[in-house]
Amino acid sequence: MTKNNIRPILLDIRNLSSVRGGRTVLNIPEMRIYEGEILSLIGPNGAGKTTLLMALLRLVPLESGVIVFKNTPLNETLPHDTYRRHFVMVFQKSLLFNSSVFNNIAYGLRIRGIRGRELLRRVDEQMALFGIAHLRNRHARKISGGEARRVSLARAFVLNPTVVLLDEPFAGLDTPTRDALIADCEKILRASGTTAIFATHDRNEALMLSDRISVMNEGRILQTGAPEDIMHRPANEFVASFAGTDTIISGPVIKKNRGTLFIEVNGSILEIVGEAKIGSKVTFCVRPENILLSKKASRATSARNAFAGSIQRILPVGHFYKVFIDCGFQLIAHVTHQSVKNLGLAEGGKIVASFKATAAHIIRGAAEV
Amino acid sequence: MELLFEGIREAFRLLIHADPEVVRITLLSLKISGCATFISLIIGIGAGMLIALVEFPGKRLLISIINTGMGLPPVVVGLFVTIFIWRNGPLGFLGILYTPTAMIAAQAIIATPIVAGITIAAIQHLPEELRLQILALGATRTQMVWMLMKESRLPLLAAVMAGFGGVISEIGASIMVGGNIMGYTRVLTTATVMETSRGNFDVAIALGVILLLLSFSVNFILTTIQQYDKK
């Protein structure tokens, strides 16, 4: 956030709304995009991410809204076509034209009247940056999916846009191809200082690329912040859940002592750091990597919360396992394959789950300090 | 069979000796059908693009009417065009009945729905997001439409072939509005009918073979362009 505060505002959006079939598909009271930043829009399918990107490009009809681009309001002194040429959008599908790779990349330059050596130089430069120089004369419909994405990105970046809008450009790619492409894309974006707004439903992609993340659902932005804010200080249950925080607990505050709240949940007392009134109900979350598992309670740990429970389920999720523990309330921890082996974790087995009072974040019911 | 072989022999004789009447009829057929196809391309592709890209009430009904028009019976077209350009008809003042102009008009009416129908199908077959992608690369509306035409060039070439094929081979409209006047409005189809009715089967077959060769040559050229582009 601090990094963005010193950056000039590139896009200032107010009361942007779009209605489709009588349903509001976009409702953004305010949104700011800073020069040179990479902002990710994350949310489930149908959250309005693509609609927002297309609304910024004025490709969807808007019910209302003011877009101010570099301090100039659109509609008044800035015509739509001039405004749109500051942007370029890359869609989820590569949507390459029925022509050679070279012609695909050159298209945007040609319609801007750029020809000759300048065109050749810029196309060749982008092909080299995206590692597709060897595909120069290949037909665009006869290259692999990963190559097609690279061509599609090169076709956008060759235009040196002020803002690049990326709509899930890495979706559907195999992991190594996707990771390589994300790395290349970030390198190019950082080197060129291009502002990017990147829609994805994959939070890991967003974490890899972004300066800030906006979480969207049902056409609204629920929270915007730095990746660590979204991950560790979610604004509500939806954001917490979408950011991968599965443990969300509610209960009344029965006592407080020097900034520590004592919350009763199904007969257990949980200690968390925060502010709330005694008697009020608070909802808080704990990230799965902050929940530690051990065979028995240890005095050596500084964790204020340690609860014995039984393992309900062990779910393999990529490089780690998701362990669901019933302690009278549910805790969900992430553990490595090695830990599963060392602790002898098995469904139905007993385990002690612990987390620090500082690891919890109050989502709802916190009092203003 | 002998009659058939005789006809084919006669066709080659007429072709090899470049019979002036046959050459004139062939060139006139090409000219009339070529002009009609060209007009139908301008109207058909323009209307087809517009209908495919713009949403409006009654669009589905209009597409159904155009699709029905793709099978428009030439004699019906001939009948209505004749009524319109008849001396006392609404367009009688033009004085074009029994002229090549009337034949071009009638053939253009036959080919336009064919071209428009194929254009609509071709544009609607393109991914919906392609239009947005073109605009998102900074294209103006005109540039976007041009790019969509380039993207659907294979089916659009098929539209040219279907349109030309439809008019070069039709007889009903040509004979009704052209009158089969020797040296003026006589084309390959009307001449073939006339020679058949006279019992000159060898000449009729010869004209038929020339018509087939002509149709094949034009389609072969267009198909070659189409398939080369597909590579």
Write the residue in A89, A93, A97 that is nearest to B136 by C-beta.
A89
Q: Report ipTM (2 d.p.).
A: 0.82
Read off the pLDDT of residues B30-68 as tens digits, 9 standing for 90 and up: 999 999 999 999 999 999 999 999 999 999 999 999 999
Distance CA B63, CA A26 (A): 33
Q: Is the pLDDT of residue A3 over 60?
A: no
Cβ of A138 under 8 Å from any chain B Cβ? no
- Show the tokens assigned to A205: 């992609």
pLDDT of residue A328: 93
Q: Is B68 touching A (CB cutoff 8 A)? A: no
Nearest residue, CB atoms, A95 vs list B127, B150, B153: B127
Which pLDDT value is given to residue A175?
86
Question: Alpha-carbon distance A248 to A287, whole Å?
Answer: 9
User: Between chain A and chain B, how many beta carbons pairs sit less than 8 Å apart?
Assistant: 52
A1 — contact with chain B (CB < 8 Å)? Answer: no
Task: Report pLDDT for B5.
Answer: 84
Lowest mean pLDDT among A82-86, A135-139, A301-305, B162-166: A301-305
Instruction: Give B71-122 pLDDT, tens digit per residue.
Output: 999 999 999 999 999 999 999 999 999 999 999 999 999 999 999 999 999 9
Task: Measure the CA–CA gap between B174 and B108, rounded to whole angstroms.
Answer: 11
DSSP H helical ranges for B54-170: 59-69, 74-85, 100-125, 128-136, 141-151, 153-168
Residue of A57, A94, A95, A167 to mutate for B, most B C-beta atoms under 10 A: A95
- Domain edges within chain B: 2-230
Residue type, A201: H
CA neighbor of B39 nearest in space, from B121, B98, B104, B100: B104
Q: Kindly list the strands in the beta sheet with A64-69, ordered across the sheet, starting from the edge strand earlier in the chain.
A: A23-34, A9-20, A64-69, A72-73
Chain A residues inside the 8 Å CB shell of B137: 88-89, 107-108, 111, 155-156, 159
| Contact list, A139 vs chain B (CB under 8 Å) | 231
pLDDT band at B205 (very low <50, low <70, confident <90, very high): confident
Could you report the per-residue pLDDT of A242-290, keeping only the tens digit for each?
A: 988 989 999 999 999 988 999 999 999 999 999 999 999 999 999 999 9
d(CA B127, CA B112): 25
Q: How far apart are CA A62 and CA A11, in angstroms?
A: 17
pLDDT of residue A5: 59
- CB–CB contact A59 B132 (8 Å): yes
Q: Which residues of A touch B127 (CB under 8 A)?
A: 93, 95
Measure B61 CA to nearest chain A CA, in Å. Answer: 22
B183-193 residue pLDDT tens? 999 999 999 99
CATH for B2-230, options being 1.25.40.10, 3.40.50.720, 1.10.3720.10, 3.30.70.260 = 1.10.3720.10
Amino acid type, A179 = D
Q: Which of A81, A88, A98 sits opposite B137 (nearest CB)?
A: A88
CA distance B190 to B212: 14
pLDDT bracket for residue A319 (50, 70, 90): confident
Share of chain A above pLDDT 70, in %: 96
- pLDDT at residue A118 tops 60: yes
Q: To which H or E segment does residue B26 belong?
A: helix B20-53
